[in-house]
Homo-oligomer: A and B are copies of this chain.
Amino acid sequence: MTLKEEMFHIAMAAREAAKGLANLSTEVKNKALINMARAIRKENKVILAENEIDIKEAERKGISRALLDRLMLTSARVEEISSGLEKIADLPDPIGETIKSWKTPNDLEISKVRVPIGVLVIIYESRPNVTVDAAGLCLKSGNSVILRGGSEATHTNVILAHLISEAAEEVGIPRGAIQIVRKVERKAVKELLGLSQWIDLVIPRGGEGLIRMVGEFSTIPVIKHYQGICHTYIDEAADLKMAEEIAFNAKVSRPGVCNAMETLLVHRGIAKKFLPSFSKRLLKAGVEIRGCAETRKMIPEAREAVEDDWKTEYLDLILSIRIVSNLEAAIAHIEKYGSGHSEAIVTDSYRAAKNFLQVVDAACVYVNASTRFTDGGQFGMGAEIGISTDKLHARGPMGLEELTSYKYVIQGEGQIRLK
């Protein structure tokens, strides 16, 4: 079988399974999720052994410690993956929900009813837990899923996908509902991206290169999950104690995630009062500071921030700082360099807060809170498949609802259209 044929067969099987999945009862879907959790828990050792193969290979290739950490599973992590599925089983089933309903003047009863999207492709990097999380969310929302993880996690992903798809089938989920692409060639992805007749949506999660490639080659709709270049702007009217806590949390609590702050913008009027003491706390926490010329006058330890710094998602204990003359300048900086993910203002000015919330074009805009809250779980969605930086279909954290479409159900008593 050629690579093209192989991808075609995967897509066809997913499409066929999607028909059955769309009409499964909540009970069967939940049973499957619980059985999947059990299978993973039971095969903990097998999973860790396969993960060990990936880890050894990765070490041999000399990949970074951060990447190794993402790739590595432990007994505790396997247990987390397993209980994640049980949590998805506990979430309400979005399918069949009446989103709204109304009656027309001629007594047609129209309901807008939630249905699955159909067949999804999830393309991701490194972290093997995504294999199981994504499969669980897609199953619960009635979608078939084709998984494509990073090549460095192949052994781990393949065993995980094998275990959960078997466990799902055991309790009545159609074969083909959960599949993984075993071929590591990039060409496999390109073949998939051309199969728009069988696949409804592609969600790429990962580096900019991956996402651009997917956007360029796909004839299938794509919801992009770019990482976040998130800003916190400390306004002239900010409570500086609050500002310090929020900015520190946004940068330091978990620097390697997409909702962490990368650039701090500070109003000139309070910079001298705010930056010297705050920077001491950052430096003590091991944060490297890169600043504009004015910032460097106040923080001698700061390196010079160059143009590239404003464009970079460090995902690390590095922070760029820029002093701005006013709110408008802060907004202009965010408009130019932000990735449309999460942006925050700290202020006590009603006008500044209102203006910032109105004008800043991002999935999540905050007043007086840390950008670290951009997360499906924190938002109360139960779980998320990722955070969309697109504006079509879904923006921001994507939970079960965002993995659905809808149809209009119209019930009549013989109505015909008169004009």
Q: How far is B415's CA from A216's CA once the two chains are assembled, in angstroms?
A: 39
Nearest neighbor of A113 in chain B, beta-carbon distance:
B357
Say whether A90 faces chain B, with CB atoms less than 8 Å apart.
no
- From A47-55, A170-178, A238-246, the one touching the partner chain is A238-246
- Collect the chain B residues with CB atoms within 8 Å of residue A395's CB: 405-408
Are B393 and A392 in contact (CB-based, < 8 A)?
Answer: yes
Pick the contact of A104: B115, B250, B359, B379 (CB < 8 A): B379
Of all chain B residues, which has the CB nearest A415? B369
In the complex with contacts A369-B415, A408-B396, A416-B253, A110-B361 CB distance below 8 A: no
The size of the chain A interface, using a CB distance under 8 A, is 67
Q: A200-B391, A391-B200, A407-B361 are in contact. Are A417 and B378 (CB under 8 A)?
A: yes
Question: Is A201's CB within 8 Å of the partner chain B?
Answer: yes
Let me know if A118 is at the binding interface, CB within 8 A: yes
> Is B361 within 8 A of A115, CB to CB?
yes
Query: Are A364 and B407 neighbours in the complex by a CB distance under 8 Å?
Result: yes
- Is A209's CB within 8 Å of the partner chain B? no
Q: Report the bound CA distance from A374 to B250 in whole Å.
A: 48
**A83 near B: Cβ within 8 Å?**
no
A380-B102 in contact (CB<8A): yes
- Given the known interface contacts A215-B219, A379-B110, A392-B392, the answer about A245 and B410 at a Cβ–Cβ threshold of 8 Å is no
Question: In the complex, what distance in Å separates the CA atom of A131 from the CA atom of B140?
Answer: 42
- 8 additional A-B pairs beyond A200-B391, A373-B417, A393-B393, beta carbons within 8 Å, are A110-B380, A246-B414, A353-B411, A363-B407, A367-B411, A368-B412, A373-B415, A378-B417
